[in-house]
Structure 1
């Protein structure tokens, strides 16, 4: 039986808990130094996962941006950018999105979806991606099982809200990295870090704090969700 990958969930939030505002332009909550840190984390990962909603709203390339880090990965026998993954129940994905056309020459992205979604995604994308059906619903544990079978040792999960919520609610996150930008959004129409859900241990469970780092005007918090903190 394969071992599931280590799951690192990475997110940038405003002080009041939003991951974006409601405008058409993406809100940059972090700073240049923290963006570079995230690029390093990407370079150290075997795969990166985002939800289909993030592909639609942000149109990201989702690659390792540093040419030096790309070269280091290639020199070690790995693809220049980690395996790119998305999850969608509907299979409704735009074949023109950047996600399918950057950092994919060495390995096509993988789509995890439902039986119905697989039919639609295969029709829309053709050979731009590998489509994996998980049955009638998307089970994130099954996603990790399949990635383990592909020898993915570390999975970086970058969002959006629904994906972040699903992973944390299912107790599948090994490390949570939260970069807190010095801004307030205050717009009820904007996406928050997490949606309402039932999380392991409930509201009294205190995650173990691993590290607090100042990166310019950004605070980086690293937590281990599965472990209780010490209140001593």
Structure 2
């Protein structure tokens, strides 16, 4: 089996599982202390991945914010911030988005074969565009990242990407932060969509840690299999719909 990075999926939700509301304005699902925790996790990763929908909707920076953490990365011979990675099935990305414009670090766009030529035409000055197959081959993406030196990958959303990774069984660690309120709007985006999740009642995730961070709680889950945290595996996958969210 092809090697792949260790994959940490990070998300903040309401009590009823929403990652945003439908207002069009950013919904605060966390607090300053938790944002700092996320920044620490980012600083310990080699790459951060979000879906193209997140790039369009949230215009995230995806940078390590702490100057001390950036300096520590440089001391270790790394760039100040992890690589930025996105997946797209349509190639509709603005080269002026902060994902591309900010951070002296490589940006990688894995594009479905049907849109790779267009993506290269519009993004070649700001990113490396990689043909990821049609349908998009997630294990191939992960193998390519591994070959680029990515050993630890942080996946920050949104819902389509969360669903893709989780239904593929390609998550080694899940950080779920729960905010103390409900959204209750079926038109708002949720943490995941429907799918054949391998973590059902017969194979639940293992709760490894609970941590109160102000008025939110962090739940850290691991797969049950004792070797799942370090294994390298894969399976063919496709990109679901791109309704996305990020911690930035």
Query: What TM-score results when the alignment is normalised by the length of structure 1?
Result: 0.94
Contact 1:171–1:226, Cα closer than 8 Å, also in 2: no
5 Å-filtered alignment, 1:47-86, equals 47-86=47-86
Cα drift, residue 148 of structure 1: 1.0
Cα drift, residue 227 of structure 1: 3.4
**Residues in 2 aligned to 1:65 and 1:42: alpha-carbon distance in whole angstroms:** 9
Contact 1:113–1:132, Cα closer than 8 Å, also in 2: yes
5 Å-filtered alignment, 1:4-153, equals 4-103=4-103, 105=104, 107-153=105-151
Cα drift, residue 116 of structure 1: 2.1
Structure 1 segments (4+ residues) deviating >4 Å: none
Cα drift, residue 21 of structure 1: 0.5
**Residues in 1 aligned to 2:198 and 2:110: alpha-carbon distance in whole angstroms:** 24
2:219 counterpart residue number: 221
Cα drift, residue 133 of structure 1: 0.3
> What secondary structure, in the 3-state scheme, does the structure 2 residue paired with 1:128 have?
coil
Deviation track 1:140-199 (CA, whole Å, cap 9, x = no partner) reads 111111111112110000000000000000000000000101111111110000000011
Contact 1:208–1:227, Cα closer than 8 Å, also in 2: no
Q: What stretches of structure 1 of length at least 5 have no aligned partner?
A: none
Deviation track 1:14-73 (CA, whole Å, cap 9, x = no partner) reads 001000111111101011100000000000000000000001110011111111111111
Which structure: greater helix fraction? 1
**Residues in 2 aligned to 1:22 and 1:45: alpha-carbon distance in whole angstroms:** 31
Contact 2:210–2:220, Cα closer than 8 Å, also in 1: yes
**Residues in 2 aligned to 1:96 and 1:223: alpha-carbon distance in whole angstroms:** 36
Cα drift, residue 202 of structure 1: 3.6
Cα drift, residue 126 of structure 1: 2.2
Q: Which among 178, 181, 184 is matched to residue 182 of structure 2?
A: 184
2:163 counterpart residue number: 165
Q: What stretches of structure 2 of length at least 5 have no aligned partner?
A: 227-248
1:154 counterpart residue number: 152
2:195 counterpart residue number: 197
* Most deviating of 84-93 and 132-141: 132-141
> What secondary structure, in the 3-state scheme, does the structure 1 residue paired with 2:125 have?
helix
**Residues in 2 aligned to 1:90 and 1:226: alpha-carbon distance in whole angstroms:** 35
Contact 2:106–2:127, Cα closer than 8 Å, also in 1: yes
Contact 1:174–1:226, Cα closer than 8 Å, also in 2: no
Contact 1:209–1:224, Cα closer than 8 Å, also in 2: yes
**Residues in 2 aligned to 1:214 and 1:202: alpha-carbon distance in whole angstroms:** 26
Query: What TM-score results when the alignment is normalised by the length of structure 2?
Result: 0.88
